[in-house]
Amino acid sequence: MSSPKCAQKAPYPIEVEAGKSYWWCACGESKKQPFCDGSHKGTAFVPTEYKAEKTGQVWFCGCKAAVSAPLCDGTHKTL
Ligand code: FES
Ligand code: FES
């Protein structure tokens, strides 16, 4: 499987709402980062669901290399 494209070497801070689902772009091709816009079609990637447990800010991975994706875990610092 090919590697995802790095959208940016930093996370995206996003306000999420408890109980809502968010679809994180795993391929890096979306124009609506950090979320999927359907651009993964034709690749081996599919978006990853993130279900918010509480309302507040979370940091979605922008480099697409986080081990704990879809959230940033600091892996971008090693790229
Ligand atoms: Fe990247 Fe859908 S556009 S996973
Ligand atoms: Fe990908 Fe931080 S932005 S691990």
- Which atom of ligand 1 is the closest one to the Cα of 30? 3
* Sequence ranges of the domains in the chain: 1-79
- Which atom of ligand 2 is the closest one to the Cα of 9? 3
Which residue, 47, 45, 8, 42, is CA-closest to 25? 47
Give the separation between CA 40 and CA 46, rounded to whole angstroms.
7
For residue 6, report the distance from its CA to the centre of ligand 2, in Å. 9
For residue 33, report the distance from its CA to the centre of ligand 2, in Å. 13
For 4-64, what is the HEC assignment? Answer: CCCCCCCCEEEEECCCCEEEECCCCCCCCCCECCCCCCCCCCCCEEEECCCCEEEEECCCC
Judged against a pLDDT cut of 80, whether residue 1 lies above it is answered with no
pLDDT tens for each residue of 11-57: 999 999 999 999 999 999 999 999 999 999 999 999 999 999 999 99
